[in-house]
Chains A and B, each alone.
Chain A
């Protein structure tokens, strides 16, 4: 062991602590970087067989990552995105059935109140005009709600296509990062920051689709959809695409998109089963919730139309001029329900030649108290209340679910921070620790240098 040996040890120590300080600096610099996982320099003694060791080196720079926690976070990301997406749509649906202020329920009450006034004043033109106005208002509210549901479905359909395009970008990024990570780690290195970037890309995909991720031995990951379809395999990414499904028509009569993987021939192979994530929630809302609400509105509108028109066209029904009554409402569903009568005199409020007869109007009023088998044995008011309460219940459940998933996400984020996050106090403590190590190594050089000076001085 020569006098230069301590200098070699000191040099290795300086280099090791310099690198350790670099890692700490990297951590501090990324304290606010999302998805960044803190890194730790693994210091190891340089062994020289049975002799005294040769100092210290940075054996590895490891990331603080809990793979099981990351898997749980990824699953929660999909569930949270599905819940919040569903909640947003359902919140808009319940907005179509307001509890306070103008809406279908309000218009229905006004319609029957106007019918009541008509029964008391069957000859008054003003009362008849008011009745027609209330009927138009009710039909308008129904048309508006039906149109809003159709628009929401169209928007949701567009969002699915857009989400597919967004997912393609993230899938391509994952495939690219797979290539880079495999190349970086082939000689035993650790591409920590590339792995962080890949986790961020996986998180973006998980927001859109429920995915299963399997890490391969070479450091790449394979990504699968919930149905088992392969989305990423090593350096290759599949392409999500949409095409018009002629078998699935929307509320506006136009075909809806189906989402799937584009094959080599350019065809779209639909992704089967539950998709999960935001896309899964959008598909459920588009294909189930919105059509169900539209069907309820249609049932309400056609029942109202048939019941009122039956009164109007009763064989004994007569308008103010003694003419037979004509249907009040026209249209085949809520979206096209209109008031067919424009002349207030044409309302068949009478059931005799007597223009002051109010028995037809009384029959109109009675429609409000009638229970209908088609509506499940309830009145129009009660049925609408059920639709309204149903929309509210769905929105509330979705909100509860979103709150639960958000709470889970918050807990998982805290757990991740605890395991992988940067704590500045820790980093500054490490900073001082490695600084002291560096200073000590420098002191070792000074001492060794003096020893050499002393030795060389003896020769002088």
Chain B
């Protein structure tokens, strides 16, 4: 306790109080304007390391979310393509069944052959289905389509596929991956061969008895692939929800560490302003001196 108070003490204390409150006001104003309580590392060093980790997780989860969204689009396109391919195979089976009878006229077989040719063209087009210029049955590679054109010289189903053999895999979690593609020849190879054989049999004017089994095998492969795509699509959608939930949790934790409570921040600011005004008002009382009472 100071027993003897001088003018210098009064002024110094006033200056120190005003300076301290002005510093606090600057911080309070910065907190309100930025809405962040963590403005620099020294504000809460322990929180900084956690914030960094959480930002890393946010970045990783956002990337995973993007990956899964892209994967969902690709798998959706594959599913749609495979559904159409199954329709083509159903029509091919119908034609094969109709033309398997020995009573069918040559003209009818030629007409059927022309329809099958279009089915083959359609199947090849489905094999070249692309999302954003990337072939979903060609390892998601862009550029040249993975399946050859039906009208190309020397076209043959066995060598029609020139895309990559490896699947395209994306990250769907820290230790999780999701296969997006299957090589086009594995998906459409049997179906193409079956339809091509059917076309050639019909063009030769013979009954396509053997084609029925080939078509059935091709359709079965398509169904199996579509089931696989459906399962992966469901997994992607499930992962999307999981990632979205995790992202919300991480953002909430991040906000808890670095975001300011605006109500508290504003009330702190107002309180500091009032305190500063009161201090300045009290400072004016320091003007009272013995000089006011002494007659020179």
Contact = CB atoms under 8 A, between A and B. Distances in A.
A105 B55 CA distance: 9
A386 B4 contact: no
Interface residues of A, number: 60
A415 B289 CA distance: 22
A391 B8 contact: no
Interface stretch (B46-54, B95-103, B119-127, B193-201): B46-54
- Do most interface residues of chain A lie in helix, strand or loop, or is the interface mixed? helix
Given A352-B166, A358-B168, A396-B45, A100 B290 contact: no
Interface in A359-408: 359, 362, 365, 368-369, 379, 381-382, 384-386, 388-393, 395-396, 399
A18 to B, nearest CB: 18
Given A105-B55, A354-B141, A389-B45, A120 B66 contact: yes
A359 B169 CA distance: 8
Contacts of B141: 123, 354-356
A130 to B, nearest CB: 13
A32 B140 CA distance: 82
A379 B56 contact: yes
B53 A382 contact: yes
Contacts of A425: 289-290
A99 interface: yes
A162 interface: no
Interface residues of B, number: 57
A357 B140 CA distance: 9
A385 B52 contact: yes
Nearest to A87: B42
Interface string B56-96: 10011011101100100000000000000000000000000
A346 B50 CA distance: 36
A97 interface: yes
Contacts of B13: 414
B41 A120 contact: no
B12 interface: yes
A424 interface: yes
Nearest to A384: B52
A119 B178 CA distance: 13
B8 A100 contact: no
B45 A113 contact: no
A8 interface: no
Given A368-B60, A414-B2, A418-B3, A424 B289 contact: yes
Contacts of A105: 52, 55
Contacts of B6: 417-418, 421-423
Contacts of B45: 389-390, 392-393, 396
A457 B36 CA distance: 96
A95 interface: yes
B2 A415 contact: yes
A126 B8 CA distance: 68
Contacts of B16: 410
B39 interface: yes
Contacts of A99: 38-41, 43, 48, 51, 258
A354 B134 CA distance: 13
Q: In the complex, which of the residues B2, B40, B67, B290 has the most CB atoms of chain A within 10 Å of its own CB atom?
A: B40
A161 B49 CA distance: 37
A424 B143 CA distance: 92
B139 interface: yes
A341 B32 CA distance: 44
A428 B291 contact: yes
Report, nearest first, the 10 A-B pairs whose CB atoms are least far apart: A392-B41, A385-B52, A356-B141, A116-B63, A421-B6, A392-B45, A393-B45, A396-B42, A381-B56, A395-B42
Given A99-B39, A389-B46, A424-B291, 12 more contacts: A116-B63, A120-B67, A123-B142, A354-B139, A357-B139, A382-B52, A388-B52, A393-B41, A410-B12, A414-B9, A418-B9, A424-B7
13 contacts: A95-B40, A99-B40, A100-B38, A113-B59, A116-B171, A123-B141, A354-B139, A356-B141, A365-B171, A381-B56, A386-B49, A388-B52, A389-B48
